[in-house]
Amino acid sequence: MTAFLQTLIFGLGTGAVISVGAVGLSLSYGVTRFINFSYGELLTLGAYLAFVAVSLGLSLPVASLLAMVVVGLIGVVLARLLFDPILHRGFLSLLVTSVGLAFVLQNAVRMIFGSSPTRFPLPPLRPWRIGALIVPKVPVLVIVIAALAMACVHLLLRYTRMGKMMRATSDDAALAKASGIVTGRVLATTWFLSAAIAALGGVLLGMTQIALQPVMGWGFLLVVFAAVLLGGIGNPYGAMLGALIVGLGIEFGAAYLAPDYGHAFAFLLLVLVLLLRPKGLLRGSF
Amino acid sequence: MKRIVMLLLALVSGLVMAQGTISIGLLLPFTGQYDWVGANVQPVAQMIADDANASGGIGGAQIRLLQGDTEGTVDAGFTAAQKLINADGVVALIGPTSLSLAGSQQLIVDAKVPMVSPTAGTTALDSFNTQYVFRTVPSDSLGGRAVARAATDAQFLGRDSAFKKVVLMVANAPAMVSFQAPIEKSMTDFGTPLLDSFQFTPDKPSYRTEVQQALALDPDLIVLVATPEDSARVMQAAFQAGYEGTWFVTQDQTTSDYIALATPQLVDGIYGLEEVAAPESAGLYDAFAAQLKAFDGKEPQIFGTNTYDAMNVVLLAMVRAARDGGEITRATVAANIRPVTDAGEGKVVVHEYMAGKAALLAGKEIDYQGLVGPIDFDAFGNITAPFAIKRVVDGAWQTVAIVPAAALE
């Protein structure tokens, strides 16, 4: 029972990290309709910038917020320079550009920070002990932070004017524009939010993986894609649900079937769901 | 026609240049995760090569070091070995590491190139070849035995009692797996069989399941053989799962970099294994360290002493091959390695290149004894050497005890 509860906690924790990454990707896809392969590098940037900010004396929460803002702005600048001018050129141009940007960002991180792993600035935390049950603190912390972040995203999308405009643009960009929505502003806000959430995802990933490496975001991207596809591409709520399922699949698969194939079970789940519901669990829009 | 003439001229000038140089290949990782190995070896090798060149070279030729970047992988190791052996025509190799050995060892032997590795501890070399393969680093068989010896004998731990409940976790990579069998066997030999011994997949983002497997047996010591990154993740996972026992790690982790990576809180009190210079070489080590500091501005790093010995062995073998007008070829270098390192009646004991060269050119025979130890190769080119047992105290590695080679028999 203890082992089951621990695996459940870790599964929720893993799902929480994935959900933050997946929501950001879903937000940008929902509005722009293209999958940004450089998204993983924004996770990496977020983790490294938080590390730098802590090295300069800031606390981790403040450093994380700062990293989110900075990466958000970087996301907007990169999108304005590289993606917005070619949005009309079709899927392939955007895809190749995003892959190229991913390599540039990854190597920029490698050039600045080196290839050797760097420790994420989170002190080791002993678990809580509740009777015979050992409850690790880091995944609980990650779950709480991710839940707060998802709540903020929900409040933004449901109750703010910008959120409504984002939903309208996601549903039908042409109609939204004809209705007077400044889609350029919506796009910029979406890029900012997507990148900022990615940065938060990077911080949470750093908390769970400990060692920061230039390839950490790229390696995590596949799992994020799985969650996004499972939940229904372009739907942030679907991404949250998909992330939870993927996270639990990874941890339970590793704990009860084979430790080396946790990711394989998650993708098996993805394939099974897509066979039954090709568009994912939820409809692909906000 | 003009093009053919130019080509011939280039070929001839290349040959003329080549006649004035002797190429030695550094078959090591210079990029990738293990680039620090090449970075540690290169300056020591270059320092000794420069000394040799400054004293007139060997047989009238200058020593030239050529890099073959193995990237720490089997495939790149094969390509790099091919380049050094076939394209560059090196007469000897320094390297490779255990990581890339599988890709190049047969090529090296088939091409009859003498290799002296200062880094490859893999047990795959324990009985691989009797003519061309040598190493100035003790086998992991000995390293694993040293771990077991220390874990089961309190005198090497600096505490009142030895460990009784030991689990072994080994990353499933060529350089790591080599330790598993020696540790398993040695723990049994020394009276404390392992509770469990298992391999795990390297480079995973999480090792919670593997840690749970180890902790289920309530060990008081976990011996961990893995990369620094994986070791930090395993230790973190165990810490978060409530493990309060001790760890024993290997040379890759017995560095200040690892303490910074894993954090002092996580590694406080852990034990580590490190190859060390023989105690009788203490004065020689100080001189080597001072020389390297003057040359490169840095203290010797891991494999520094092993490289010093490897380069001296190769260069002294060349000197012996070239005296009395002999040719320096792969065959003559290989044939002269044992004559300059084996002990024997009437031989002059030397500890560095210049003294060895002087003795050889004076017509004497030498017994090179290095920083690592006597450098007496067995039939398969292996050496014995002492190990240091270290422990993290107040955020730094400190030597607790030395396990002499004799204690590992």
What one-letter code names the amino acid at B13? Answer: S
Whether the pLDDT of residue B325 is over 70: the answer is yes
CB of B205 less than 8 A from some CB of A: yes
pLDDT per residue as tens digits for the range B278-318: 777 778 999 999 999 999 999 998 899 999 999 999 999 99
Q: Which is nearest to B99 in space by CA: B7, B175, B40, B182?
A: B175
Whether residue A113 lies inside any domain: the answer is yes
Smallest CA–CA distance, residue B208 to chain A, in Å, is 8
pLDDT value, residue B15: 45
pLDDT value, residue A64: 96
Whether residue A40 lies inside any domain: the answer is yes
Of A93-97, B205-209, B293-297, B358-362, the range with the lowest mean pLDDT is B205-209
pLDDT value, residue A117: 78
Chain A residues in contact with B240 by the CB 8 A cut-off are 124-127, 136-138
Handedness of CA A267, A268, A269, A272 (dihedral sign): positive
Whether residue A285 lies inside any domain: the answer is no
pLDDT value, residue B12: 47
3-state class of B196 per DSSP?
strand
Residue that wins the pLDDT comparison between B6 and A7: A7
Partner residue facing A209 (CB), from B35, B205, B212 = B205
CB of B255 less than 8 A from some CB of A: no
Question: Is A259's CB within 8 Å of B261's CB?
Answer: no
Whether the pLDDT of residue B18 is over 60: the answer is no
pLDDT class of B14 with cuts at 50, 70, 90: very low
Report the CATH number that the domain containing residue A267 is assigned in CATH. Answer: 1.10.3470
pLDDT class of B358 with cuts at 50, 70, 90: very high
Question: Is B232's CB within 8 Å of A136's CB?
Answer: no
Residue that wins the pLDDT comparison between B67 and A280: B67
Whether residue A281 lies inside any domain: the answer is no
Boundaries of domain holding A142: 2-276
How many CA atoms within 13 Å lie on the side-chain side of B87?
9
CATH topology for B141-275+387-408 is Rossmann fold (3.40.50)
Percent of chain B at pLDDT above 90? 77
CATH topology of B23-137+303-368 equal to that of B141-275+387-408?
yes
Whether the pLDDT of residue B409 is over 90: the answer is no
Main-chain dihedrals φ then ψ at residue B327, nearest 5 degrees? -90, 150
Whether residue A286 lies inside any domain: the answer is no
Provide the β-strand partners of residue B396: B393
Domain ranges of chain B: 23-137+303-368, 141-275+387-408
pLDDT class of A180 with cuts at 50, 70, 90: confident
Kindly report the average pLDDT of chain B as a whole number: 91
Most confident of A105-109, A205-209, B313-317: B313-317
Of A123-137, A192-206, B139-153, the range with the lowest mean pLDDT is A123-137
CB of B344 less than 8 A from some CB of A: no
The mean pLDDT value for B265-287 works out to 87
pLDDT value, residue B245: 94
Whether residue A284 lies inside any domain: the answer is no
Number of independent structural domains in chain A: 1
Write the CB contacts of B102 (distance below 8 Å, at least 6 apart in sequence).
B74, B77, B124, B174
Whether the pLDDT of residue B371 is over 70: the answer is yes
Neighbours of B139 (CB within 10 A): 25
Whether the pLDDT of residue A281 is over 80: the answer is no
pLDDT class of B82 with cuts at 50, 70, 90: very high
Question: Is B208's CB within 8 Å of A254's CB?
Answer: yes
Q: Which is nearest to A163 in space by CA: A153, A174, A150, A178?
A: A153
The mean pLDDT value for A233-237 works out to 81
CB of A59 less than 8 A from some CB of B: no
Main-chain dihedrals φ then ψ at residue B29, nearest 5 degrees? -80, 120
Give pTM, 2 decimals.
Answer: 0.79
CATH topology for B23-137+303-368 is Rossmann fold (3.40.50)
Whether residue A134 lies inside any domain: the answer is yes
Q: Decide: A199 and A192 in contact? Cβ < 8 Å.
A: no
Listed by number, the residues of chain A in 169-188 with a beta carbon closer than 8 Å to a beta carbon of chain B are none
pLDDT class of B17 with cuts at 50, 70, 90: very low
Whether residue A207 lies inside any domain: the answer is yes
Question: Is A129's CB within 8 Å of B263's CB?
Answer: no
Q: How much is the CA Rg of chain B, to the nearest whole Å?
A: 22
Q: How many CB pairs under 8 A join A and B?
A: 74
pLDDT class of A168 with cuts at 50, 70, 90: confident
Q: Decide: B383 and B377 in contact? Cβ < 8 Å.
A: yes
The mean pLDDT value for A75-89 works out to 89
Percent of chain A at pLDDT above 70? 98
